[in-house]
A and B are shown apart, each in its own frame.
Chain A
Amino acid sequence: MRRWGLVLGLGFLWAPILLLVGYAFSADRIPFQWGGFSLRWFAALAENERMLEAAWLSLRIAAGSATLAVLLGGLAGWALSRLGPFRGRALFGTLAGAPLVLPEVVTGLSLLLLFVALQGVLGWPANRGALTVLLAHATVGMAYVAVVVQARLAGFDRSLEEAAADLGASPFTVFRTVTLPLIAPALAAGWLLAFTLSLDDVVVASFVSGPAGTTLPMLVFSALRMGVTPEVNALAAVILAVVGLLVGLAGLILQRSRRNLPGAG
C-alpha cells in the first residue's frame, strides 16, 4: 500500500521526463513518435546559432546573478539569524522574503517599472538586456539564498561564535573564521539554486529584458507556443543531463560537509 503511493507519485513525476529524454533520440520529425535511433536533433541543436547564442547569454546571466545572490543573500541570512534585533529588522525580513511569495508576473512588472523610472531619472540603465535580467535574477536568487543560509545557521549553536568572541575575536573575525566556514555548504547549495532558477525563468526575464537580451528560456517558450519540436526535446535532454550532474555535485558537497562537522544535523 505504502509502496504504491510512492510508485504512483514518482511515476507521474518521472514518466513525462523519461519519455521526453527517450524520444529525443528518435529520428522522427514528429515529437514523441519513434522513427529509429538517431542523434540528428542533437546535431541540429549544435548548429542552431540562435539557440547557442541564447544559451551562452543565459549561462553568463545565471552565473553572474547567482554569485551576486550568494553575496547579498548570505549577508541577509546571516543578519537575520545572528545579528539579533537591529533597527528595521522586521522590514528587512519582510523585504528579504518577499520575492519568494510574490507572483512572477508581479516581480517582473514591478522591476521593469523600476528600471524605466531609473532610466528616466538617472539615465541608467541606458538600455534593457542582459544587465537588467541579471539584476532581477540576483534579487530573486538572494531571497532563496537567505532562506537556505538562515536554515543552516539555525541548526548551529550560537555558542560557537560566542566562544570565539569571548576569546577576543572581533565580530568581523568571528564572521570570517567561524560563521563563514559554517555556512559555506549552504552558500554553495544556494548558488546552485539561484543558478538553476535563473536558467529556468521566462516571466521575469521577458518583462525586464530588451530586444538584445533574448535568453534561452525566452527562446524555448516562443518555440513551445508554436507546439513542441524534437529539437526542444533534445535541448531538454541536455538540460536534464547538466542539472543532474550539478545536483549530484551539490549532494556530494553537502554530504562531505556533514562528515566534516559531526555536530551538524
Chain B
Amino acid sequence: MRRLLLLAPPWLWLLLFVAAPVLILLAIGLAEPADGVPPFLPPLGWEAGRPVWQGSGASLAVLTEDGWYALAFLRSLWVAGVSAGLCLLLAYPLALGIARARPSRRLPLLLLVLLPFWTGFLPRVGAWIGLLRDGGWVNGVLMGLGVVQEPVPLLYSDTALLIGMVHAYLPFAVLPLTAALLRLDPALEEAAADLGASPFTVFRTVTFPLSLPGAAAGFLLVFIPAAGEFVIPSLLGPPEAQLVGRVLWDEFFQNRDWPLASALAVALLLALILPIRLFQRLEARS
C-alpha cells in the first residue's frame, strides 16, 4: 500500500507532463489552423451532443509536398552527423588521455572536460560570436600566421555553426568513450604489444574495436540533441540555411501556425526514433 503511495506521484507526473503532451502534440499536428486563441480548431469537436471529426492531414501533407521542409530535415541530419563525427574525432585523444592518466588524475581531468558544460550554453556561444567576427581573435590569429591576408567572414557560416556545435556537445562524446576505454582490460593491449605490435597497430586492432560501443554511444548522444538544436544555428549559423529547430520555432512564433509546428515536431520525433532506440540498446548493454 505504501509502495503505491510512493509510486503514485512520479506516475501521475509522468502521465500528465510527458505522456499527455506528446499525445496532444500528435493531435494538434492533425488540427486545422484557424484565427483565434489558440490558433487552431481541435481535431475533434462537439456538435449536437456527439463528437465530430474536423481535423485534416493538411499540415503533414505540406511537410511531404514542400521541398523546403525536406531540405531543412536533410540539412539538420547532415549538420548533426558532421557535428557528432567531429566531436568523436576530438573526443578520442581526450578520452585516451584521461583513461591512461594516473588514477588520481582521472577525476580532475574529467571535471575539466565537464565543467564547460556547466558554464551554460549561451555564454559559450556568445564567446564564439566575439571570437569569430571579422575583427575577432580567430581572424587575428589567422592573419598573424599569414594564413590569410584579410579577415575571412567566419561568423554566420556553416563553419561557425559546426565550431559552436562541437564546442557545446564535445563533453557528451567524451563521457561514454572514456567509460568504454576504462572498462577495457589493459592485459589485452599488453598482450598485443608483447607479441610485437607497434603502438599504432595495438590501437587499430585492439583499443579501437573494443571502444566502438562507447564511440557509438558518444556519437548518438551528440547526434540526437544536435538534430533539433535551435540556439546555436540561430546565433552562429548562416541566416538563409534553415534547420528543423529553427523552422519549427519560426512557424510557431512568427507564423503562429501551431498545427504545422506540431507536425514538424512529430516528424522530428519519427526521424529520431531509430537513433534513440539504438542509443537505449547500447545503454542497456553496458
- Chain A residues engaging chain B, CB cutoff 8 angstroms: 2-6, 8-10, 12-14, 16-17, 19-20, 23, 30-33, 71-73, 75-76, 78-79, 83, 86, 88, 92, 95-99, 101-107, 109-111, 113-114, 116-117, 120, 135-136, 139, 142, 170-172, 175, 196, 199-200, 202-203, 206-207, 217, 220-221, 224-225, 227-228, 232-233, 235-236, 239-240, 243-244, 246-247, 251
Contacts and interface: CB of A to CB of B under 8 A. Distances in A.
Contacts of A32: 130-131, 136-137
Contacts of B96: 2, 5
Contacts of A105: 228, 230, 244-245, 248-249, 265, 268
A79 to B, nearest CB: 6
B126 A20 contact: yes
Contacts of A102: 269
B13 A72 contact: yes
B24 A110 contact: yes
A16 B276 CA distance: 31
A60 B249 CA distance: 26
A17 B116 contact: yes
Contacts of A236: 119-120, 122-123, 126-127
B109 interface: yes
A251 B111 contact: yes
B219 interface: no
Closest 9 CB pairs of A and B: A5-B93, A103-B228, A236-B123, A6-B97, A110-B21, A9-B94, A16-B127, A95-B14, A20-B127
B94 to A, nearest CB: 4
Interface string B244-283: 1100110011000010011001001100100010011000
B209 interface: no
Interface of B: 2-3, 6-7, 9-11, 13-22, 24-25, 28, 38, 90-94, 96-98, 100-101, 109, 111-113, 115-116, 118-131, 135-137, 167, 170-171, 174, 224-225, 227-231, 234-235, 244-245, 248-249, 252-253, 258, 261-262, 265, 268-269, 272, 276, 279-280
A83 to B, nearest CB: 7
A106 B265 contact: yes
B18 A95 contact: yes
Nearest to B253: A206
Chain A contact surface mostly: helix
Contacts of B252: 109, 207
A254 to B, nearest CB: 9
Contacts of B94: 5-6, 9-10
A75 B120 contact: no
B234 A225 contact: yes
21 contacts: A9-B174, A13-B170, A14-B112, A17-B124, A72-B9, A75-B10, A76-B10, A101-B276, A104-B245, A105-B249, A106-B25, A114-B20, A114-B24, A116-B38, A220-B122, A224-B122, A224-B125, A224-B235, A236-B123, A240-B123, A247-B118
A226 B14 CA distance: 38
A103 B174 CA distance: 20
Contacts of A9: 90-91, 93-94, 97, 113, 170, 174
Given A12-B167, A110-B265, A75 B9 contact: yes
Q: Which of B126, B131, B171 has the most CB of A within 10 A?
A: B126
Contacts of B24: 110, 113-114, 117
Contacts of B123: 17, 20, 220, 232, 235-236, 239-240
Contacts of B6: 75, 78-79, 172, 175
Contacts of B112: 10, 13-14
A111 B129 CA distance: 31
Q: Which of A2, A73, A247 has the most CB of B within 10 A?
A: A2
Contacts of B122: 200, 202, 217, 220-221, 224, 236
B17 A139 contact: yes
A71 B167 contact: no
B227 A135 contact: no
Q: Which of A17, A23, A30 has the most CB of B within 10 A?
A: A17
